[in-house]
Structure 1
Amino acid sequence: MITVEFLITSLIVVLIPGTGVIYTVSTGITQGRRAGFYAALGCTAGIIPHLLATILGLTALMHASALAFQTLKYAGVAYLFYIAYATWKDTSAFALENTPPRSTALSLVVKALLLNILNPKLTIFFLAFLPQFVKPGSGSPFLQLLLLSGIFMAMTFAVFLVYGLLAHAFRTAVIESKTVQSWLRRSFAAAFAGLGVHLAFSEK
């Protein structure tokens, strides 16, 4: 269940600059490290509803119908290949958005929270990502999904926190580097494609 493959893939997914990362980095640059911490906290908390929906939905499917779960699995395969292709073809550069001069800790957390809660792609991603790491016969699927989700969230918070605390360095090395952006995009696309292949040939 908790394999090196899961940890490495999760880390790759978390490291890729997306909406949450850009917000955290932007906040860290314009408002300081403390603000970056609250932004990272809010972005991580915004993942919880998507993970809960995924865990409850997948657990119900596993208990209700093997056919339904298989259908979901192959839909997840198709989605993973689609986002791998879309990521590979995307040539747009990451950009930092301007933020207000100063914000309260609560407002930073709430804004970051809503940023991820209102992103429906997260639920779709987790529906495609988590099933392949659930091992039949290794205990309750619900507890396995809960543990995997907890680890993913911990990694997300740790990486986002580093992004926020080292915002200026990351801005130069990542956000404003076309070479690094290109490498990240291709790595992300390869990770999604690899997930799709693994999921397609998994036993359940």
Structure 2
Amino acid sequence: MTIEFLLTSLVVVATPGTGVLYTMAAGLSRGTRASIVAAAGCTLGTIPHMVAAITGLAALLHTSAMAFQILKYLGVAYLLYMAWSTLHDKDALTTEKAETPVSAMKVITSGVLINILNPKLTIFFFAFLPQFVSAREPNAFLRMVELSAVFMLLTFIVFVAYGKFAAAMRSHVISRPQVLTWLRRTFAGAFVALGAKLAFF
């Protein structure tokens, strides 16, 4: 394991994106536990991209415009859905216990979908992992699996940190109606912006 890989991975993971946004939204709306569950979902959502990169499917996506476009626009559609849901779910950010709380499975599923439907991750891992594995290395496949596992661990740790920070701020912002409205609009706008960025990637 090289320090270059760890530092690069940390920078990539810590850069705010859809996963960070979703994890922080979960922390603000439902507290620390929900943010940890969301972080787990987002981390699991990276697995298909890593598998694709390791097995060579990323190369197919990179050369197949249709496959890439289909996956990309599915991701855009899901981000727009998240924006609409965030903007219209007025009970999402509240300190009151909901009569029908969101299940952990639903939080995880949403986190997984957010990352699965982002083809940029597949292309990223396809270009990223080989930089730290020698073509002459006899156990190149196992080496890429090892690096992928480390990347996933860093992703989970950093996302949990973001979520805990958001959860810690919860009591300071949730009780203020105007702040809640601003937060819903901000998160919704951020999802739309990320969707637009993905659409024109």
If the length of structure 1 is used for normalisation, what is the TM-score? Answer: 0.61
Q: Tell me, what secondary structure is at the counterpart of 2:25?
A: helix
Greater shift in the superposed pair: 99-108 or 14-23 = 99-108
Cα contact 1:6–1:133 (8 A) shared by 2 = yes
Is residue 19 of structure 2 the alignment partner of residue 16 of structure 1?
Answer: no
- Residue by residue over 1:6-55, the C-alpha shift from the partner in whole angstroms, topping out at 9 and shown as x without a partner, is 10010000001000000000110111111001100000000000000100
Q: Matched residues in 2 for 1:151 and 1:139: separation?
A: 20
Q: Tell me, what secondary structure is at the counterpart of 2:150?
A: helix
Q: Matched residues in 1 for 2:144 and 2:51: separation?
A: 9
Give the structure 1 partner of residue 2 of structure 2. Answer: 3
Give the structure 2 partner of residue 77 of structure 1. Answer: none
Letter matched to residue 27 of structure 2: G
Give the structure 1 partner of residue 118 of structure 2. Answer: 119
Q: Matched residues in 2 for 1:12 and 1:170: separation?
A: 24
Q: Matched residues in 2 for 1:132 and 1:24: separation?
A: 29
Q: Matched residues in 1 for 2:154 and 2:6: separation?
A: 9
Q: Matched residues in 1 for 2:120 and 2:38: separation?
A: 20
Cα gap change, 1:135 to 1:170, in 2 (>3 Å): farther
Q: Matched residues in 1 for 2:20 and 2:169: separation?
A: 11
Q: Tell me, what secondary structure is at the counterpart of 2:56?
A: helix
Shift of 1:170: 8.0
Q: How does 1:64-75 map to 2 (within 5 A)?
A: none
Query: Considering only aligned residues, what root-mean-square deviation do their CA atoms show, in Å?
Result: 2.6
Is residue 54 of structure 2 the alignment partner of residue 55 of structure 1?
Answer: yes
Unaligned runs of 5+ in 1: 62-71, 73-96, 177-204
Letter matched to residue 111 of structure 1: S
Give the structure 1 partner of residue 29 of structure 2. Answer: 30
Q: Matched residues in 2 for 1:134 and 1:170: separation?
A: 41
Q: Matched residues in 1 for 2:136 and 2:155: separation?
A: 28
If the length of structure 2 is used for normalisation, what is the TM-score? Answer: 0.62
Cα gap change, 1:45 to 1:10, in 2 (>3 Å): same
Shift of 1:136: 3.6
Greater shift in the superposed pair: 18-27 or 101-110 = 101-110
Cα gap change, 1:137 to 1:148, in 2 (>3 Å): same
Q: Tell me, what secondary structure is at the counterpart of 2:147?
A: helix
Cα contact 1:163–1:170 (8 A) shared by 2 = no
Q: Matched residues in 1 for 2:133 and 2:168: separation?
A: 37
- Residue by residue over 1:74-128, the C-alpha shift from the partner in whole angstroms, topping out at 9 and shown as x without a partner, is xxxxxxxxxxxxxxxxxxxxxxx55652411111000101111111111011111
Identity of aligned residues (%): 50
Cα gap change, 1:148 to 1:28, in 2 (>3 Å): same
Cα contact 1:43–1:112 (8 A) shared by 2 = yes
Cα gap change, 1:3 to 1:170, in 2 (>3 Å): farther
Unaligned runs of 5+ in 2: 63-85, 93-100, 173-182, 184-201
Cα gap change, 1:168 to 1:38, in 2 (>3 Å): closer
